[in-house]
Chains A and B, each alone.
Chain A
Amino acid sequence: MSKKVIATTSLAGCFGCHMSILDIDERIIDLVELVEFNKSPINDIKKFTKKVDVGIIEGGCCNSENVEVLKYFRENCSILISLGECAIMGGLPALRNGIPIEECLNEAYLNGPTVKLNTAKIIPNDPELPMILNKVYPCHEVVKVDYYLPGCPPRADLIWDALVALLTGTEMDLPYEVIKFD
């Protein structure tokens, strides 16, 4: 049997979910026996080099680049998993969702108490920069998502069990106790 191919990315997340992936410790050696990693911050592969079986998404979408990457993952992955609070519900970045975007940008670049050096009063607007979305979107509101692994971050055992279940085609047990937040 050929190895299954996995890809991961972090959109509007804190990389905590990726840290949690690494937290499977020495089992990562077992994982490498089971799978091959394609595009991922872990190996720094930038572009997909082949079709991927499982794409793991950390973080929701807060800007146009997130949307682009997420769509790119959807096109190239057979199965897409939303990993963690931000991918599933928007998480901490979504705290801005109740505030108009103009107010957020003014606070961040013009009026915030820590803004000292922006004497020209510029809000970054270079065309090279990703465009900010009016609010932070959970991944499933942008593309079809197949599975959701909750937690903040989802703990390593949960990620491990889910991957093993998915790759071996077995049922996964998801008791209340394994879901942890904050």
Chain B
Amino acid sequence: MRENILEIISNYNNDKTRLMDILHDIHSIAGYVDQESIELLHQKLRISEAQVNEVISFYHFYNCKPLAKVNIYLNNSITAKMHGREGVLNAFRNECAVEEGGISEDGEFGLFTTSCIGMNDQEPAAIINGSIFTRLTPYRVRELVKDLRNGKDIKELIYEGDGGGRNALPEINSMVCNNIRRRGALLTQDYLPFEITKKLLPVSTPEDIISIVEASKLRGRGGAGFPTGLKWKFGRKAEGVHHVVICNADEGEPGTFKDRILLTEFPELVFEGMIIAGYSIGADIGLLYLRYEYKYLLNFLKGLLDDMRSKNLLGKNISGIADFNFDIRIQLGAGAYVCGEESALIESLEGKRGEPRDKPPFPVERGYLNYPTVVNNVETLASIPKILKNGSDWFLNLGSNDSAGTKILSVSGDCNFPGIYEVEWGTTIKDVLDMCGAYDVQAIQVGGPSGALIGEKDFNRALSYTDLPTGGSMIVFGNKRNILKNVVMNLMEFFIEESCGSCSTCRNMPMVMKKKLEKILGGRGVESDIDDLLSWSEVLKVSRCGLGQTASNPITTSIKNFRHLYENLVQKDIVFDTGFDLEESVKDSCAAVGRQPILHNL
């Protein structure tokens, strides 16, 4: 084993910035990282053992203890729960004789909870030994476990067949379905791969390209909405030995799965967008950060890159353009929502914990390895070749005044047709509900947990950067759902789980707010508790990144739009109820040290 580990490390030239890849490779041969490997990493990469350990412990899919033979990661997003996760969980617990979060006594099965894996339109879903299983039911679980016990290979267990489209390719071979329900400008099949790279780039200057992108008024599709042309301009202007283009495919916002579709069906669009970005800002390094949950696409995407290299679409003097040297490497993540934040993503790309950086400097000035770096969302980059092909006016004519183009929505929850809907900006919520067959709607979570929970009075609002901005996730909740107990609580738990812990505000406040919500749900809340929740949320604004800054949104937006749900639960006749029980709270420690609690003087 020692020899194998040393070989892996030397494959990456003892480069500590490749720690993510090294850890992935160690996992693939050993299943976990043992103490000996940690010591070897410390010696060879010249980083402390603590630095190795802090990376392993940060990411959900790294382990420093052995796991089971079969490891089941069951998604715990709200949509999974709405579609029967509990039954599926119980089936796994019974069939595998294992508790959630543990490993069975015989070491055969491990059952773990994981945050949204990007399958919201086909929940409940799980990752089992790297393969994705969607639309799970208790019956299906019994069948699966029986066959696994009989030693069948995981790949043989996809009785449903492949999910269609490129999911059927042998390189992917997955049961994941695309569920594309509505195609717009981006998702139509009128695209000739790499036409722009071959024909337009050789006759255009980088400035020409940037000015077309600027004129199109394309804005970032990840959620923040920064003007893409401007970002590229900054990136081009910034000085550095290398320039870097990063495609952010760490799609972790629960309820979002559009990047999965783009990377499955339109990866050429994304890669060509990266090449064009590289040409525009003068980059030589291209990186695509793929979330671990989409690992099943990795070999397919790598194969495409190899093919592109053989056709001179990557490498030296691309398309015969002198000195345009650019290549793309795919970095696999390891399970951490916060890595979707661009500076955390860069930290992760450098082989570290994905903790957001202080800003400024922004990545366009000092990003990956301190080189000027442009980070763009998958959907943003995929828009680029089409804009260049059809012109900025074509793009401007799509969408609404302040928001040009289309938006790919990931729709899930209580609707008849969950899936992907590409709509023009300016489309109203009501229209989307009518598209996806959602009736009897109580609330919608727009933009994932960091977005807003809205009710009927907002259904006439339009999706746009100025009215109702969104990274694309829409989860529909019908009237039968318990919004506070199930929805808001689930979203708060997500933030508590995914906080990197760097800022004390984000590490603690969501937990404190959750306690308060529990107090209200438990019938011990008072009117002032509701206002406390609102005023306390303000303190999160001092957090370093968007995750912390928005971590109270499930509570604050639900108070704003569904205050009556809170008011129905609080006690009207008193101004304060502690909920604190001294006797109960000292019981455990007194038992542990062997003394009798003394409570009479308190």
Contact = CB atoms under 8 A, between A and B. Distances in A.
Interface of A: 64, 67-68, 71, 85, 88-92, 94, 97, 100-102, 105-106, 123-125, 127, 131-135, 137-138, 140-144, 148, 150, 152, 174, 176, 179-182
Given A88-B536, A137-B585, A144-B575, 4 more contacts: A131-B595, A150-B505, A179-B541, A181-B505
B311 interface: no
29 contacts: A64-B586, A68-B602, A71-B602, A88-B512, A88-B536, A88-B539, A89-B504, A89-B505, A89-B512, A90-B508, A92-B504, A97-B511, A102-B588, A105-B589, A123-B594, A125-B595, A127-B596, A127-B598, A131-B590, A132-B589, A133-B585, A134-B588, A134-B589, A137-B585, A138-B512, A140-B532, A143-B576, A148-B535, A150-B505
B442 to A, nearest CB: 31
B578 A131 contact: no
Given A137-B580, A141-B578, A176 B589 contact: no
B539 A64 contact: no
Contacts of A142: 578, 580
B304 to A, nearest CB: 43
Contacts of B596: 127
Contacts of B595: 125, 127, 131
A134 B588 CA distance: 6
Interface string B505-548: 10011011001000000000000000010011011011000000
Contacts of B593: 105, 123-125
B501 to A, nearest CB: 9
A131 B597 contact: yes
Interface residues of B, number: 38
B536 A148 contact: yes
A91 B504 CA distance: 7
B306 to A, nearest CB: 45
Query: Would you list the 9 A-B pairs with minimal beta carbon distance, nearest first?
Result: A89-B508, A132-B589, A144-B576, A125-B593, A102-B592, A131-B586, A125-B595, A150-B539, A123-B593
B503 interface: yes
A71 B588 CA distance: 22
B387 to A, nearest CB: 36
Interface of B: 503-505, 508-509, 511-512, 515, 532, 535-536, 538-539, 541-542, 575-576, 578-580, 582, 584-598, 601-602
A45 to B, nearest CB: 21
B466 to A, nearest CB: 22
Contacts of B576: 143-144
A14 to B, nearest CB: 13
Contacts of A131: 586, 589-590, 595, 597-598
A100 B587 CA distance: 12
A105 B592 contact: yes
Contacts of B508: 85, 89-91, 94
A64 to B, nearest CB: 6
Contacts of B511: 89, 97
Given A67-B602, A181-B505, A90 B536 contact: no
A64 B578 contact: no
Contact of A125 (B575, B594, B601): B594
Nearest to A98: B511
A132 to B, nearest CB: 4
A174 B579 CA distance: 30
A163 to B, nearest CB: 19
A73 B539 CA distance: 25
B58 to A, nearest CB: 16
Nearest to B579: A141
A120 to B, nearest CB: 13
A134 B587 contact: yes
A126 to B, nearest CB: 8
A182 B503 contact: yes
Given A125-B595, A127-B595, A140-B532, A85 B589 contact: no
A128 to B, nearest CB: 10
Contact of A141 (B536, B580, B587): B580
Contact of B504 (A68, A71, A134, A182): A182
A59 B598 CA distance: 23
A181 to B, nearest CB: 5
B358 to A, nearest CB: 12
A144 B590 CA distance: 27
A180 B542 contact: yes
A176 B541 contact: yes
Given A181-B504, A182-B503, A132 B578 contact: no
Contacts of A92: 504
A131 B583 CA distance: 10
